[in-house]
Amino acid sequence: MLKIEHLTKTYGEKKAVDDLSLHIHPGEIYGFIGHNGAGKSTTIKSAVGILKFDAGTVTINGKSLTEDPLGCKRDLAYIPDNPDLYDFMSGIKFLNFIADVFAVPAAERQEKIRKYADLFELTGDLAQPISAYSHGMKQKLAVIAAWLHSPKLIVMDEPFVGLDPKASHHLKEMMREHCDSGGAIFFSTHVLEVAEKLCDKVAIVKQGKLVKTGTMDEVKGDDSLEEVFLELEAE
């Protein structure tokens, strides 16, 4: 579903991502772990077409991101680390805006908005301007927007930050459902317990380079993910 091969991205002299390769298959929840500044967000932004990269290829659902960026973007949804949404819109206007861009039929979008807004207890606030939303409410709105067009691939940067425990729980369930129905999820997180419980596969990145990847069992063995991560960081 998402194939990143030999991705390299530099900022001036600094290599933020260095020859990184990952392959995320349909049905997989793929966790992306690393310390601050390790290159997670740069990799994610490059993979969703926001950042131009210097070398390597990104393929989404069989389409090259460089050659067919719009085709790739139609198949994915992205949630950034900080949900900076259009503050001047109301929640419902933002959702309809996203649905229009993805050409989601009216009946389908209404049903989904109803379902997810109720789930995240956001229905009552949908007419409010986004400027009045808390960080968590914006995050919930970004999640609903991401799920609105039934993307094949969902890429998220720290999706649990700002969410209350109930909403986090719902998001985890939604992630699992999405993958069970053939989709794929690639997300970064600092919460290793969540990654350990939720992810099918995990990749650990350090100074822009992939240091370990594989199924959860392959990566952590008998240790906890936290122990493995700290060990790799110390090397």
Is 82 a binding residue for another protein by CB under 8 A? The answer is yes
Is 114 a binding residue for another protein by CB under 8 A? The answer is yes
Which range of residues in 16-24, 83-91, 163-171, 218-226 is near another protein by CB under 8 A? 83-91
Intra-chain end-to-end CA distance of the chain, in Å: 32
Amino acid at 95: L
Toward another protein, which CB reaches closer, 133 or 160?
133
Is 92 a binding residue for another protein by CB under 8 A? The answer is yes
Distance CA 232, CA 234 (A): 5
Q: Which of 52, 222, 234, 235 binds another protein (CB under 8 A)?
A: 52
- The label of the residue with tokens 């389908």 reads 108
User: What is the nearest approach in angstroms of another protein to the Cβ of residue 59?
Assistant: 16
Distance CA 98, CA 141 (A): 11
Cβ neighbour number for residue 178 with a 10 Å cutoff: 22
Backbone angles phi, psi at 89, to 5 degrees: -95, 160
Q: Helices (H) and strands (E) in the chain — how many of each? A: 9, 10
Is 207 a binding residue for another protein by CB under 8 A? The answer is no
Which range of residues in 54-62, 109-117, 162-170, 181-189 is near another protein by CB under 8 A? 109-117
Toward another protein, which CB reaches closer, 111 or 231?
111
Distance CA 125, CA 59 (A): 38
Give me the residues that bind another protein (CB under 8 A), please. 45, 48-50, 52, 70-74, 78, 80, 82, 84-86, 88-93, 96-103, 105-106, 109-110, 114, 123-128, 132
